[in-house]
């Protein structure tokens, strides 16, 4: 049984919650996960229940962690929490959720988005939280009147652990034009211009700020001892970047998560450990956004639910992963899935330009295509969408690392490697939970060298190399994909207008 100091990382994802306990030298002592996902009560809506989907799984997983023989509660030295961002998690006066959590991929507030941009002179996109808050004010006034604090997902979990209402710089910077990066303060004049009270905005903290300790109530629910320090934490992207060792200039991350991401380190990440982490176009922060694909792992999950019942049954009998069976089927097909192309914009397009009315599409479908063709085309669509913006940073990306759940697929990594025409590294132990645990240890002074995550914690890289015979094939399919992606914008806009009129 362990008697050493242990770092605890909690990651609140869109499709799963994870907890991970790791030693100061990077040995993962135990990790547990619990799958769950958002609800879609109306077209374009994406919601979660804060108690059941955010805090509830954390309680369950911590109990499982401490019931194992790997970790003792008294050995936990510090806790870090990361989570999906941006989302609107409003609290009432007593600290209870004031209605459902509205996720970043929710498109209900497009009218309010246009109004906010016009009124405040902003250029927000559909994932921003502020237009969703205005939507609640306009459409659900009784609920709005109960709101006293606005959070994102991990801020809520930090609150339940410590009783402290706080938002980190990273999250504040993506809520919707209401955070000043230079002064690291709220732009209350923007909030007031929109008719919103600044009292809804909680105090701010660096991501690595030690903001509170485990309360007696949280200790009773989770098994964590009282008094253990908790950092403010951050949105899940930065810990995921840290957790796969993408910390030096020229390091790029391809995240195969529920949402697909491509980021590039333009300065050493240690310079932005406290946040803001992400560049706003001025080159001041460490990380540059390159791609944001709302439906990556989400599309794979949809396929498995709709078409993978037989593979699920067979995999369970064989004691293997259903994804291995699906990969084997798709791997026997040629690049381009025999002429089948998918546009992965189920919840709107973020990359290469934000266009919320664009939807998903399957193009070139014929009687000869099978479910395996659809599966392969889904994997390829991620690579095509990623390549649309990767070209702009190709010369700067000295090293590319794949991470998140979908990166476990060798087939998917090979497809993206061939489409991007660049080698890709993969570390099986990397994760956002590992990254936030590392940041917690660094914040508490238990880890002195930020480079430890890359030099010592991550070992055994699997490197995927482009297949020379396949890259020309994907070059041609990529051109076709871009043509469809461009030409479909107008009919999708017409389709969105027809759908809107049909519900009036």
Q: Looking at the predicted structure, is the pLDDT value of residue 268 above 60? A: yes
SS3 of 240, please?
helix
Clarify whether residues 315 and 231 are in a common domain. no
Residue 410 φ/ψ, nearest 5 degrees: -65, -35
Mean per-residue pLDDT, 419-445: 96
pLDDT at residue 2 tops 50: no
In the DSSP assignment, the letter for residue 273 is T
Is 32 in contact with 41 (CB distance < 8 Å)?
A: no
Q: What is the pLDDT of residues 53-103, one digit of tens each?
A: 999 999 999 999 999 878 999 999 999 999 999 999 999 999 999 999 999
pLDDT at 412 over 80: yes
Q: Are 406 and 257 in contact (CB under 8 A)?
A: yes
- Using the predicted structure, report yes or no on whether residue 30 has a pLDDT greater than 80: yes
Q: Which two tokens stand for residue 199?
A: 């009292």
In the block, residue with structure tokens 């090979």: 414
Confidence check: pLDDT of 427 > 60? yes
* Gap between the Cα atoms of 162 and 56, Å rounded: 16
Give the three-state DSSP class for 356: coil
Can you tell me whether residue 148 is helix, strand or coil? coil
* Residue pair 286/266 in contact by the 8 Å Cβ criterion: yes
Token pair of 238 as six digits: 């930065």
Residue 422 makes CB contacts below 8 A (sequence gap 6+) with 394, 397, 400, 466
Residues 324 and 197 in one domain: no
Report the chain's C-alpha Rg in angstroms: 22
Structure tokens at 51: 């108690």
In the predicted structure, residue 1 carries a pLDDT above the cut 50: no
Residues 117-142 have pLDDT tens digits of 999 999 998 889 999 999 999 999 99
**Per-residue confidence (pLDDT) for residue 350, from 0 to 100:** 82
Question: Which is more confidently placed, 159 or 323?
Answer: 159
From 190, 212, 235, the end of a domain falls on 235
The SS3 assignment for 281 reads: coil
Q: Dump the DSSP string for 93-117.
A: TTS-B-SPEEPTT--TTHHHHHHHH
Find where tokens 């989770």 sit.
222
C-alpha atoms less than 13 angstroms from C-alpha of 76 in its C-beta half-sphere: 30
Give phi and psi for 381, each to the nearest 5: -60, -35
Which CATH number do you get for residue 414?
A: 3.30.420.40
DSSP letter (8 states) at residue 271: G
Does the pLDDT value for residue 35 go beyond 80? yes
Residue 29 lies in a domain: yes
Phi, psi of 401 (to 5 degrees): -125, 130
Q: How high is the pLDDT of residue 281? A: 66
Distance CA 77, CA 4 (A): 9
The pLDDT score that the predictor gives to residue 305 is: 87
Residue 456 lies in a domain: no
pLDDT of residue 502: 58
Tens digit of pLDDT for each residue in 456-479? 999 889 999 999 999 999 999 999
- CA gap 149, 504 in Å, rounded: 33
Higher pLDDT, 376 or 490: 376
**Ordered DSSP codes for 467-496:** -TTTHHHHHHHHHHHHHHHHHTHHHHHHHH
**442 belongs to a structural domain:** no
Whether 200 and 83 map to the same domain: the answer is yes
Is the four-CA dihedral 52, 71, 228, 77 of positive or negative sign?
A: negative
Is residue 359 one of the residues assigned to a domain? yes
pLDDT in tens, 201-210: 999 999 999 9
Classify residue 41: in a domain, yes or no: yes
Tokens representing residue 31 in the block: 């990790």
Asked if 305 and 384 sit in the same domain, the reply is yes
Same domain, 230 and 305: no
Asked if residue 17 and residue 110 are part of one domain, the reply reads yes
Query: Which one is predicted more confidently, 363 or 499?
Result: 363
- How far apart (Å, rounded) are the C-alpha atoms in residues 166 and 175? 14
Domain match, 97 and 222 both: yes
The whole-angstrom distance between residue 362's C-alpha and the CA centroid of its chain comes to 25
Angle between helices 489-502 and 471-487 (to 10 degrees): 40
- Contact, 143 vs 151, CB < 8 A? no
With a pLDDT cut of 90, the percent of the chain lying above it is 75
Model confidence pLDDT, tens digit, residues 217-244: 999 999 999 999 999 999 999 999 999 9
pLDDT band for position 312 (cuts 50, 70, 90): confident
Do 206 and 355 lie in a common domain?
no
What is the distance between the alpha carbons of residues 109 and 112, in angstroms, rounded to a whole number? 5
Same domain, 79 and 220: yes
Residue 483 lies in a domain: yes
* Helix/strand/coil percentages in the chain, nearest 5: 40, 20, 40
Cα 378 from Cα 362, distance rounded (Å): 9
Same-domain check for residues 124 and 211: yes
Task: Report in angstroms the alpha-carbon separations of 204 from 20, 100, 101, 207, 320.
Answer: 26, 23, 21, 9, 46
- Looking at residue 338, what is its pLDDT? 96
What does 384-403 look like in DSSP terms, one character per residue? HHHHHHHHHHTTT-SEEEEE
pLDDT for the residue numbered 240:
94
Task: Indicate if the pLDDT at residue 191 is higher than 90.
Answer: yes
For residue 373, tell me if it sits in a domain: yes
Lowest average pLDDT, out of 322-336, 345-359, 436-450, goes to 345-359
The DSSP output letter for 456 is I
Average pLDDT over residues 173-180: 92
Where a domain ends, among 212, 235, 258? 235
Whole-angstrom distance between the N-terminal and C-terminal Cα of the chain? 63
Domain that holds residue 371: 297-424+468-502
The number of helices, as runs of H, and strands, as runs of E, in the chain is 18, 23
Mean pLDDT, the chain, whole residue set: 92
Q: Read off the tokens for 390.
A: 């990767």
Cα–Cα distance, 378 to 474 (Å, whole number): 14
What's the rounded Cα separation, in Å, for the pair 86 and 58? Answer: 19
Phi and psi at residue 123, in whole multiples of 5°?
-135, 55
Mention every residue, 6+ apart, whose C-beta is less than 8 A from residue 95.
159, 163, 165
**291 in any annotated domain:** no
Note whether 230 and 309 are same-domain residues. no
Spatial contact of 258 and 104, defined as CB atoms under 8 Å apart: no
Does 226 share its domain with 317?
A: no
Who's near 318: CB < 8 A, 6+ residues apart? none
Domain count, the chain: 2
Domain final position from 209, 235, 261: 235
Predicted pLDDT of residue 503? 53
């Amino acid at each position: 049984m362990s008697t050493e100091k242990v770092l605890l990382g909690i990651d609140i994802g869109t499709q799963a919650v994870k907890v991970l306990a790791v030693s100061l030298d990077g040995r993962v002592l135990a990790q547990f996960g619990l799958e769950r996902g958002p609800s879609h009560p109306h077209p374009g809506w994406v919601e979660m229940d804060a108690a059941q989907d955010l805090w509830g799984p954390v309680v369950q997983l911590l109990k499982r962690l401490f019931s194992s023989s790997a970790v003792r509660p008294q050995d936990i030295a510090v806790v870090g929490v990361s989570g999906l961002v941006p989302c609107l998690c409003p609290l009432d006066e007593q600290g209870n959720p004031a209605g459902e959590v509205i996720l970043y991929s929710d498109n209900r507030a497009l009218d309010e988005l246009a109004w906010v941009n016009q009124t405040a002179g902003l250029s927000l996109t559909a994932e921003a939280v502020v237009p969703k808050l205005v939507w609640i004010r306009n459409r659900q006034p009784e609920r709005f009147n109960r709101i006293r604090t606005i959070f994102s997902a991990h801020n809520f979990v930090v609150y339940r652990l410590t009783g402290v209402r706080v938002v980190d710089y990273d999250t504040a910077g993506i809520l919707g034009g209401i955070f000043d990066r230079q002064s690291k303060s709220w732009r209350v004049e923007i909030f007031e211009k929109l008719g919103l009270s600044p009292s809804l905005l909680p105090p701010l903290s660096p991501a690595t700020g030690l903001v509170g300790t485990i309360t007696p109530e949280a200790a009773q629910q989770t098994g964590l001892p009282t008094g253990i320090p908790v950092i403010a934490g951050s949105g899940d992207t930065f810990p995921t970047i840290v957790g796969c060792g993408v910390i030096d200039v020229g390091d790029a991350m391809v995240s195969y998560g529920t949402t697909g991401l491509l980021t590039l380190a333009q300065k050493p990440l240690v310079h932005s450990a406290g946040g803001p982490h992400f560049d706003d176009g001025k080159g001041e922060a460490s990380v540059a956004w390159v791609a944001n694909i709302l439906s990556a792992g989400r599309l794979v999950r949809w396929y498995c639910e709709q078409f993978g019942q037989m593979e699920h049954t067979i995999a369970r009998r064989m004691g293997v992963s259903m994804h291995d069976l699906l990969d084997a089927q798709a791997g026997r097909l040629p690049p381009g899935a025999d002429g089948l192309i998918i546009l992965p914009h189920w919840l709107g397009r973020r990359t290469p330009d934000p266009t919320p009315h664009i939807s998903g599409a399957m193009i070139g479908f014929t009687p000869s295509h099978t479910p395996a063709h659809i599966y392969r085309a889904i994997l390829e669509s991620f690579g095509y969408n990623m390549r649309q913006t990767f070209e702009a940073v190709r010369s700067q990306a000295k090293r590319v690392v794949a991470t998140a759940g979908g990166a476990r697929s060798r087939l998917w990594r090979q497809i993206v490697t061939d489409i991007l025409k660049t080698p890709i590294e993969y570390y099986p132990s990397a994760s956002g939970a590992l990254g936030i645990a590392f940041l917690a240890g660094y914040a508490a002074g238990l880890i002195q060298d930020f480079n430890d995550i890359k030099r010592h914690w991550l070992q055994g890289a699997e490197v995927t190399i482009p297949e020379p015979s396949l890259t020309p094939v994907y070059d041609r399919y990529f051109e076709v994909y871009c043509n469809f992606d461009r030409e479909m914008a107008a009919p999708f806009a017409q389709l969105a207008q027809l759908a809107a009129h049909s519900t009036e």
